[in-house]
């Protein structure tokens, strides 16, 4: 054995031993890095169920995290401005598209110690901090009533306009714990009342007593001008009894309460108001995304957002942008979100548009524009976004602009490197597409050969007995006929729906579907039906009588709509393909 062999072997054994000793350390290091990565990806958020309360009331602070190794939050930082009570926690496991997500929800009741704008400070949960939250605290409410249970109601605007969305809030106060109960709110005459959201529960101090409060919210929309009376809510239930109820009864007692009616003075639509009528407290528009570059024949994305104060998403017009002849615009469905803020409806609309230029050079895209009525100032306002002035560069080789008759599905087939959709072209074809087409052609050829063979073996006598012209006598059924509304849909809308539902059904009865009531009226042949549609439109936006409009539509369309005759087509200069 050479002299240098043994030292080399000893050195190799020592290195191997060192690597074996360091292997557990490496595993521990990897596990530590993995835990740090999991903790870094943990999502933690905080929110309060009400951000505007009165002194003596409580609001619930909710903290949600998917860091299952985190300890409960330390609430000591809240004790400076709040009294803390009712701390709870719960674990939830959700399964979405085969992926399991576990999370922990912490909740605690906060009662402010003073008025003003208070800050809920950031709290540490595991390796993350929650974001600070703002809470507005007003003076204590001047109540009011007493007893073991009572009801209060309020509207966010005592003098709304016709078709204005009004937030209506009902609060049930009860002093003793409830065993069962039911809270009912009758609908007023001359307005629609729709319950929104989930009930909130908190505590409040009334005349030195602590009450539990259940807050229920509604959306009230007046349909005509003049005084409007909203009936008071009714409560019937059973609660825990007092000392004598425990001794001489079953420990329970009946509870009931009736709320006072709320009176509103509904204002008519002003004579100088814009049409369509859109009463709001505020409206803002903004671009969420605009294209950084454009290429001929390739799709780019424009995203627009609208935020409305004092309306639901269903009352807002659709967001639209338009381009000149040098581009096509394909809108996606509108994404909407409705919520209540301080008892007042708030709506957010988001819409994405795919913009496909048809030629190079300068391109101007007209931004959205919405005319609305400021209910606080009593004036007309316009919310708009500036036009987009863009430059379109030449497209990639093999890409060309789609024809005007192309649909969005046939245009948007690929994706560009800048995140925008790319128009399909010859360069987009894949080998599997050729295989699919080839297989379909072979299948059709096989089917045709089989049918031909089947016809060749039909007896001659059977062919002679076949009734001539049977196939021609069978009426042709168009395969692409679009569905349309019928008289049953119109009757259902007149009986159970609002005026907007009636208008939608009337427009859907046309073929093709009418864009609005103005277009529908131009296509009707019966003067009485045109007058009924005009009366319906006036009742929706002009402050007319809703009941009279329903009756007029029901009477005029009792026998179905009468459409104007289609214009005769000019005779063809070419001879018929199959002359008779």
Question: Which tens digit of pLDDT belongs to each residue from 101-125?
Answer: 788 889 888 888 888 889 999 998 8
Q: How far apart are CA 536 and CA 439, in angstroms?
A: 56
- Mean pLDDT over residues 388-406, rounded? 65
Residues 320 and 242 in one domain: no
pLDDT at 434: 63
Task: Tell me: do 520 and 496 sit in the same domain.
Answer: yes
> Residue 191: its pLDDT value, please?
93
pLDDT of 63 > 50? The answer is yes
Question: Which residue, of 266, 297, 328, is where some domain finishes?
Answer: 266
Burial 123-140 (b: 16+ CB within 10 A, else e): bebbebebeebebebeee
Q: Which residues pair with 107 in a beta bridge?
A: 62, 88
How many independent structural domains does the chain possess?
Answer: 4
The answer on pLDDT for 307 being more than 60 is: yes
27-to-37, 39, 277, 496, 570 alpha-carbon distances in Å: 15, 18, 68, 68, 85
Q: Which of 138-152, 295-309, 545-559 has the lowest mean pLDDT?
A: 138-152
Domain boundary (266, 296, 314) is at 266
Residue 289 has pLDDT above 80, yes or no: yes
Q: Which residues contact 83 (CB under 8 A, 6 or more apart)?
A: 110, 111, 113
CB 168 within 8 A of CB 220: yes
Q: What are phi and psi of 11, to 5 degrees?
A: -65, -40
Mean pLDDT of 373-380: 90
Question: Quick check: is 174 in a domain?
Answer: yes
Q: Looking up tokens 């080998």, which residue turns up?
A: 431
User: Lowest-confidence range among 171-185, 408-422, 436-450?
Assistant: 408-422
Q: Kindly state whether residues 92 and 176 are assigned to the same domain.
A: no
Instruction: Please indicate, yes or no, whether residues 228 and 309 belong to a single structural domain of this protein.
Output: no
Residue 435 belongs to a domain: no
| Least confident range of 127-141, 156-170, 224-238 | 127-141
Which one is predicted more confidently, 77 or 430? 77
Higher pLDDT: 28 or 202? It is 202
Nearest alpha-carbon partner for 315 in 282, 361, 271, 277: 277
Nearest-5° angle of CA 470, CA 472, CA 478?
125
Q: What is the pLDDT of residue 116?
A: 84
Quick one: 81 and 180 in the same domain? no
pTM of the model: 0.49
Same domain, yes or no: 176 and 207: yes
Residue where a domain terminates, one of 240, 266, 292: 266
Tell whether 207 and 132 lie within a shared domain.
Answer: no
* Whether residues 93 and 179 fall in one domain: no
Least reliable range by pLDDT among 63-72, 282-291, 367-376: 63-72
Q: So what's the pLDDT on residue 161?
A: 93
CATH code of the domain in which 365 resides: 2.60.40
Q: Which of 50-59, 274-283, 409-418 has the lowest mean pLDDT?
A: 409-418
CATH number at residue 232: 2.60.40.740
* Residue 362 included in any domain: yes
Which residue range is the domain that position 56 belongs to? 44-138
The pLDDT value given to residue 113: 85
Average pLDDT, integer, range 443-467: 57
Give the span between the Cα atoms of 307 and 224, in whole angstroms: 26
Predicted pLDDT of residue 167: 92
**Is residue 517, in this structure, part of any structural domain at all?**
yes
Task: Name the pLDDT band for 344 (thresholds 50, 70, 90).
Answer: confident
Are 70 and 170 found together in one domain? no
Residues 313-341 have a mean pLDDT of 87
Q: 285 and 419 share a domain?
A: yes
pLDDT, position 143: 47
Calculate mean pLDDT across residues 352-363.
89
Number of helices (H), then strands (E), belonging to the chain: the values are 11, 32
Residue 51 resides in a domain? yes
CA distance 100 to 419: 29
Question: What pLDDT, on a 0 to 100 scale, did the predictor assign at position 215?
Answer: 93
Whether 251 and 210 share a structural domain: yes
**Edge-to-edge strands of the sheet including 99-112?**
44-48, 59-65, 99-112, 82-96
Domain assignment present for residue 272? The answer is no
Q: Which long-range contacts (CB under 8 A, 24 or more apart) does 495-500 make?
A: 498/192, 499/223, 499/536, 499/539, 499/540, 499/546, 499/549, 499/550, 500/314, 500/540
Q: In whole angstroms, what is the distance from residue 419 CA to residue 415 CA?
A: 7
Backbone angles phi, psi at 242, to 5 degrees: -90, -160
Indicate whether 574 belongs to any domain. no
Q: Has residue 444 been placed in a domain?
A: no
Beta carbons of 125 and 67 less than 8 angstroms apart: yes
Mean pLDDT confidence for 218-239:
92
**Whether 313 and 393 share a structural domain:** yes
120: nearest Cα among 202, 200, 201, 61: 61
């Amino acid at each position: 054995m050479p002299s240098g062999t043994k030292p080399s072997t000893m050195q190799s054994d020592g290195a191997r031993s060192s690597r074996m000793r360091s292997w557990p350390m490496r595993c521990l290091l990897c596990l530590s890095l993995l835990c740090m990565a999991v903790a870094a990806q943990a999502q933690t958020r905080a929110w309060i169920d009400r951000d505007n309360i009165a002194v003596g009331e409580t609001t619930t602070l909710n903290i949600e995290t998917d860091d299952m190794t985190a300890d409960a939050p330390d609430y000591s930082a809240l004790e400076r401005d709040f009294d803390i009570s009712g701390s709870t926690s719960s674990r939830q496991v959700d399964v979405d598209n085969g992926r399991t997500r576990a999370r922990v929800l912490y909740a605690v009741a906060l009662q402010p110690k003073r008025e003003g704008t208070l800050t809920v400070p950031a709290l540490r949960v595991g390796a993350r901090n929650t974001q600070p939250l703002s809470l507005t605290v007003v003076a204590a409410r001047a109540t009011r009533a007493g007893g073991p249970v009572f009801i209060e109601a309020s509207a966010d605007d005592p003098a709304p306009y016709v078709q204005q969305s009004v937030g209506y809030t009902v609060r049930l106060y009860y002093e003793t714990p409830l065993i069962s109960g039911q809270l009912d709110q009758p609908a007023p005459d001359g307005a629609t009342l729709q319950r929104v959201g989930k009930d909130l529960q908190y505590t409040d101090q009334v005349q030195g007593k602590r009450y539990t409060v259940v807050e229920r919210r509604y959306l009230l929309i007046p349909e005509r001008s003049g005084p409007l009376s909203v009936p008071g809510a009714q409560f019937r239930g059973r609660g825990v009894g007092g000392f004598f109820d425990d001794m001489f009864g079953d420990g329970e007692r009946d509870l009931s309460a009736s709320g006072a009616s709320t009176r509103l003075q509904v204002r008519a639509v002003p004579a100088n108001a814009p049409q369509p009528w859109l009463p709001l407290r505020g409206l803002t528009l903004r671009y969420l995304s605009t294209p950084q570059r454009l290429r001929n024949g390739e799709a780019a994305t424009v995203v627009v957002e609208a935020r409305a104060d004092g309306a639901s998403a269903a009352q807002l017009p659709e967001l639209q942008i338009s381009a000149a002849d040098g581009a096509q615009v394909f809108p996606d469905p509108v994404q909407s979100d409705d919520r209540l803020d301080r008892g007042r409806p708030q709506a957010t609309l988001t819409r994405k548009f795919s913009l496909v230029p048809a030629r190079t050079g300068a391109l101007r895209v007209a931004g959205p524009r919405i005319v609305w009525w400021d209910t606080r100032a009593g004036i007309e306002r316009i919310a708009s976004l500036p036009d987009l002035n863009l430059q379109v560069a030449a497209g990639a080789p093999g890409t060309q602009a789609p024809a005007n008759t192309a649909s969005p599905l046939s245009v948007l087939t690929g994706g560009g490197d800048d995140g925008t959709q790319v128009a399909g072209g010859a360069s987009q074809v894949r080998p599997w597409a050729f295989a699919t087409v080839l297989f379909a052609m072979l299948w059709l050829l096989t089917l045709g050969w089989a049918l031909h063979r089947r016809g060749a073996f039909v007896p001659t006598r059977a062919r002679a007995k076949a009734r001539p012209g049977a196939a021609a006598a069978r009426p042709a059924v168009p395969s692409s006929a679009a569905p349309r509304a019928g008289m049953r849909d119109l009757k259902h809308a007149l009986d159970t729906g609002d005026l907007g539902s009636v208008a939608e059904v009337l427009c859907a009865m046309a073929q093709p579907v009418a864009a609005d009531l103005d277009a529908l009226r131009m296509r009707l042949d019966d003067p009485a039906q045109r007058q009924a549609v005009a009366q319906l439109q006036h009742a929706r936006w002009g402050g007319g009588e809703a009941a009279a409009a329903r009756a007029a539509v029901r009477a005029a369309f009792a026998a179905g709509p009468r459409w104007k005759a289609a214009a005769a087509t000019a005779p063809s200069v070419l001879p018929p393909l199959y002359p008779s």
